[in-house]
Chains A and B, each alone.
Chain A
Amino acid sequence: GQQVMQIPQYQHVQEGEDFTTYCNSSTTLSNIQWYKQRPGGHPVFLIQLVKSGEVKKQKRLTFQFGEAKKNSSLHITATQTTDVGTYFCAATSGTYKYIFGTGTRLKVLA
Protein backbone atom coordinates (compact mmCIF):
# COMPACT_ATOMS: atom_id res chain seq x y z
CA GLY A 1 0.00 0.00 0.00
CA GLN A 2 0.85 3.63 -0.12
CA GLN A 3 3.59 4.76 2.22
CA VAL A 4 4.76 8.18 3.23
CA MET A 5 8.26 8.51 4.61
CA GLN A 6 9.49 11.44 6.66
CA ILE A 7 13.03 12.42 7.43
CA PRO A 8 14.67 13.03 9.75
CA GLN A 9 13.04 11.07 12.55
CA TYR A 10 14.53 13.37 15.18
CA GLN A 11 16.11 16.80 15.07
CA HIS A 12 17.70 18.77 17.87
CA VAL A 13 18.48 22.40 17.12
CA GLN A 14 19.68 25.37 19.07
CA GLU A 15 17.12 28.11 19.45
CA GLY A 16 17.45 30.45 16.48
CA GLU A 17 18.64 27.77 14.06
CA ASP A 18 16.58 26.68 11.10
CA PHE A 19 14.79 23.34 10.79
CA THR A 20 13.51 21.34 7.83
CA THR A 21 11.54 18.12 7.60
CA TYR A 22 10.90 16.24 4.37
CA CYS A 23 8.04 14.04 3.31
CA ASN A 24 8.31 11.58 0.41
CA SER A 25 5.80 9.33 -1.33
CA SER A 26 6.29 6.66 -3.96
CA THR A 27 2.99 7.63 -5.59
CA THR A 28 1.56 10.88 -6.87
CA LEU A 29 -0.50 12.66 -4.26
CA SER A 30 -3.73 14.62 -4.58
CA ASN A 31 -2.78 16.90 -1.75
CA ILE A 32 -0.67 16.98 1.35
CA GLN A 33 -1.32 18.33 4.80
CA TRP A 34 0.97 19.19 7.69
CA TYR A 35 0.16 18.77 11.36
CA LYS A 36 1.93 19.62 14.58
CA GLN A 37 1.61 17.56 17.74
CA ARG A 38 2.89 19.04 20.98
CA PRO A 39 4.20 16.58 23.58
CA GLY A 40 1.23 14.91 25.24
CA GLY A 41 -1.23 16.56 22.88
CA HIS A 42 -3.14 15.76 19.73
CA PRO A 43 -2.24 16.69 16.14
CA VAL A 44 -3.27 20.16 15.03
CA PHE A 45 -3.67 21.09 11.39
CA LEU A 46 -1.16 23.58 10.01
CA ILE A 47 -1.71 23.77 6.27
CA GLN A 48 -2.80 21.98 3.10
CA LEU A 49 -1.00 22.03 -0.25
CA VAL A 50 -2.82 21.07 -3.43
CA LYS A 51 -1.03 22.42 -6.49
CA SER A 52 2.18 21.18 -8.05
CA GLY A 53 5.11 23.36 -6.94
CA GLU A 54 2.96 25.21 -4.43
CA VAL A 55 4.68 27.25 -1.72
CA LYS A 56 2.86 28.63 1.31
CA LYS A 57 4.14 30.63 4.23
CA GLN A 58 2.89 31.06 7.78
CA LYS A 59 5.10 33.51 9.61
CA ARG A 60 8.35 31.57 10.15
CA LEU A 61 7.03 28.38 8.52
CA THR A 62 7.42 27.68 4.79
CA PHE A 63 5.68 24.73 3.16
CA GLN A 64 6.47 23.37 -0.31
CA PHE A 65 4.82 20.78 -2.54
CA GLY A 66 7.05 19.18 -5.14
CA GLU A 67 6.56 19.64 -8.86
CA ALA A 68 5.77 15.94 -9.28
CA LYS A 69 3.46 16.02 -6.23
CA LYS A 70 5.41 13.21 -4.62
CA ASN A 71 7.25 15.14 -1.94
CA SER A 72 6.85 18.05 0.40
CA SER A 73 8.86 19.98 2.95
CA LEU A 74 8.32 22.13 6.00
CA HIS A 75 10.96 24.69 6.86
CA ILE A 76 11.04 26.69 10.08
CA THR A 77 13.24 29.78 10.19
CA ALA A 78 14.86 30.82 13.47
CA THR A 79 13.28 28.17 15.67
CA GLN A 80 11.81 29.06 19.03
CA THR A 81 11.11 26.88 22.05
CA THR A 82 7.41 27.04 21.16
CA ASP A 83 8.19 25.09 17.97
CA VAL A 84 8.91 21.94 19.99
CA GLY A 85 6.79 18.98 18.97
CA THR A 86 6.36 16.36 16.29
CA TYR A 87 5.55 17.42 12.76
CA PHE A 88 3.58 15.06 10.56
CA CYS A 89 2.71 15.17 6.92
CA ALA A 90 -0.50 13.48 5.81
CA ALA A 91 -1.15 12.53 2.22
CA THR A 92 -4.05 11.29 0.20
CA SER A 93 -4.13 9.88 -3.30
CA GLY A 94 -7.74 10.79 -3.83
CA THR A 95 -9.61 8.61 -1.37
CA TYR A 96 -11.22 9.45 1.94
CA LYS A 97 -8.29 8.24 3.95
CA TYR A 98 -5.08 10.00 4.82
CA ILE A 99 -1.75 8.28 5.25
CA PHE A 100 0.35 9.95 7.91
CA GLY A 101 4.09 10.16 7.68
CA THR A 102 6.28 8.77 10.41
CA GLY A 103 6.80 12.24 11.87
CA THR A 104 9.81 14.35 12.77
CA ARG A 105 10.31 15.11 16.44
CA LEU A 106 11.81 18.55 16.95
CA LYS A 107 13.61 19.59 20.10
CA VAL A 108 14.73 23.17 20.49
CA LEU A 109 17.53 23.85 22.95
CA ALA A 110 17.42 27.25 24.60
Chain B
Amino acid sequence: SQTIHQWPATLVQPVGSPLSLECTVEGTSNPNLYWYRQAAGRGLQLLFYSVGIGQISSEVPQNLSASRPQDRQFILSSKKLLLSDSGFYLCAWSVTNHNEQFFGPGTRLTVL
Protein backbone atom coordinates (compact mmCIF):
# COMPACT_ATOMS: atom_id res chain seq x y z
CA SER B 1 0.00 0.00 0.00
CA GLN B 2 1.03 3.58 -0.52
CA THR B 3 2.11 5.89 2.27
CA ILE B 4 3.28 9.47 2.40
CA HIS B 5 5.61 10.86 5.02
CA GLN B 6 6.35 14.43 5.99
CA TRP B 7 8.79 15.76 8.50
CA PRO B 8 9.16 17.45 10.76
CA ALA B 9 5.65 17.52 12.22
CA THR B 10 6.18 20.89 13.86
CA LEU B 11 8.83 23.53 13.45
CA VAL B 12 9.54 26.89 15.04
CA GLN B 13 12.04 29.03 13.17
CA PRO B 14 13.27 32.62 13.52
CA VAL B 15 12.74 35.15 10.76
CA GLY B 16 15.57 35.04 8.25
CA SER B 17 16.50 31.42 8.90
CA PRO B 18 16.50 28.75 6.17
CA LEU B 19 13.86 26.06 5.75
CA SER B 20 13.82 22.54 4.44
CA LEU B 21 10.71 20.37 4.58
CA GLU B 22 10.80 16.88 3.18
CA CYS B 23 8.09 14.67 1.77
CA THR B 24 8.48 11.09 0.62
CA VAL B 25 6.03 8.68 -0.91
CA GLU B 26 6.22 4.90 -0.73
CA GLY B 27 4.50 2.21 -2.72
CA THR B 28 4.00 4.02 -6.02
CA SER B 29 6.07 5.17 -8.98
CA ASN B 30 6.13 8.47 -10.85
CA PRO B 31 3.48 10.16 -8.76
CA ASN B 32 2.37 13.74 -9.24
CA LEU B 33 3.53 15.64 -6.16
CA TYR B 34 2.15 18.80 -4.63
CA TRP B 35 3.01 21.30 -1.90
CA TYR B 36 0.18 23.28 -0.31
CA ARG B 37 0.11 25.87 2.43
CA GLN B 38 -2.84 26.38 4.73
CA ALA B 39 -3.06 29.46 6.94
CA ALA B 40 -4.92 29.00 10.23
CA GLY B 41 -8.61 28.46 9.56
CA ARG B 42 -8.20 28.99 5.84
CA GLY B 43 -8.19 27.02 2.61
CA LEU B 44 -5.36 25.31 0.79
CA GLN B 45 -3.05 27.36 -1.39
CA LEU B 46 -1.18 25.41 -4.05
CA LEU B 47 2.51 26.34 -3.95
CA PHE B 48 4.25 23.87 -6.27
CA TYR B 49 3.50 20.75 -8.22
CA SER B 50 5.69 18.25 -10.01
CA VAL B 51 4.89 15.63 -12.63
CA GLY B 52 8.38 14.13 -12.72
CA ILE B 53 11.95 14.26 -11.44
CA GLY B 54 13.37 17.74 -11.82
CA GLN B 55 10.07 19.14 -13.13
CA ILE B 56 8.67 21.82 -10.86
CA SER B 57 5.82 24.23 -11.54
CA SER B 58 5.46 27.21 -9.27
CA GLU B 59 2.06 28.65 -8.62
CA VAL B 60 2.79 31.52 -6.28
CA PRO B 61 5.87 33.76 -6.61
CA GLN B 62 7.46 34.01 -3.18
CA ASN B 63 10.61 33.23 -1.28
CA LEU B 64 9.95 29.47 -1.34
CA SER B 65 11.34 26.92 -3.76
CA ALA B 66 10.78 23.23 -4.39
CA SER B 67 12.89 20.42 -5.71
CA ARG B 68 12.33 16.81 -6.69
CA PRO B 69 15.70 15.09 -6.57
CA GLN B 70 14.20 11.61 -6.68
CA ASP B 71 10.99 10.14 -8.06
CA ARG B 72 9.27 9.93 -4.69
CA GLN B 73 10.93 12.78 -2.83
CA PHE B 74 9.70 16.36 -2.79
CA ILE B 75 11.47 19.10 -0.85
CA LEU B 76 10.26 22.57 0.05
CA SER B 77 12.93 25.13 0.85
CA SER B 78 13.54 28.73 1.70
CA LYS B 79 16.78 30.65 2.11
CA LYS B 80 15.25 33.26 4.43
CA LEU B 81 11.93 32.78 6.17
CA LEU B 82 9.41 35.59 6.57
CA LEU B 83 6.75 35.94 9.25
CA SER B 84 4.14 35.40 6.53
CA ASP B 85 5.58 31.94 5.84
CA SER B 86 3.96 30.59 8.98
CA GLY B 87 1.30 27.99 8.30
CA PHE B 88 0.45 24.37 7.85
CA TYR B 89 2.40 22.83 4.96
CA LEU B 90 0.87 19.83 3.30
CA CYS B 91 2.44 17.52 0.77
CA ALA B 92 0.18 15.42 -1.45
CA TRP B 93 0.48 12.91 -4.26
CA SER B 94 -1.76 11.57 -6.96
CA VAL B 95 -1.40 8.83 -9.53
CA THR B 96 -2.17 11.11 -12.45
CA ASN B 97 -4.05 14.33 -12.96
CA HIS B 98 -7.80 14.03 -12.38
CA ASN B 99 -7.20 11.52 -9.61
CA GLU B 100 -7.69 11.84 -5.90
CA GLN B 101 -4.90 13.37 -3.91
CA PHE B 102 -3.46 11.70 -0.84
CA PHE B 103 -2.18 14.10 1.77
CA GLY B 104 0.64 13.71 4.23
CA PRO B 105 0.24 14.55 7.92
CA GLY B 106 1.60 18.06 7.38
CA THR B 107 4.18 20.31 9.02
CA ARG B 108 3.11 23.17 11.26
CA LEU B 109 5.60 25.97 10.77
CA THR B 110 5.75 28.97 13.06
CA VAL B 111 8.09 31.80 12.11
CA LEU B 112 8.90 34.13 14.99
Q: Which residue numbers of A lie inside 8 Å of B, CB to CB?
A: 30-31, 33, 35, 42-45, 48, 50, 88, 90, 92, 95-103, 105
Q: Which residue numbers of B lie inside 8 Å of A, CB to CB?
A: 32, 34, 36, 41-46, 49, 51, 57, 59, 90, 97-106
Contact of A45 with B102 in the complex, beta carbons under 8 Å: yes
Contact of B97 with A95 in the complex, beta carbons under 8 Å: yes
Bound Cα distance from A48 to B41, whole angstroms: 24
Contact of B97 with A42 in the complex, beta carbons under 8 Å: no
| Residues in A neighbouring B105, C-beta threshold 8 A | 42
Can you name 5 A-B residue pairings with CB atoms under 8 Å? A33-B100, A33-B101, A43-B101, A45-B100, A97-B59
| Residues in A neighbouring B46, C-beta threshold 8 A | 97-100
Q: Which chain A residue has the least Cβ–Cβ distance from B36?
A: A100
Contact of A42 with B103 in the complex, beta carbons under 8 Å: yes
Bound Cα distance from A104 to B57, whole angstroms: 28
Contact of A30 with B98 in the complex, beta carbons under 8 Å: yes
| Residues in B neighbouring A105, C-beta threshold 8 A | 41
| Residues in A neighbouring B32, C-beta threshold 8 A | 96
CB-based closest 4 A-B pairs:
A45-B100, A100-B44, A42-B103, A96-B97
Bound Cα distance from A83 to B93, whole angstroms: 25
| Residues in A neighbouring B97, C-beta threshold 8 A | 92, 95-96
Q: Which of B43, B51, B57, B104 contacts A42 (CB 8 A)?
A: B104
Contact of A102 with B101 in the complex, beta carbons under 8 Å: no
Contact of B49 with A101 in the complex, beta carbons under 8 Å: no
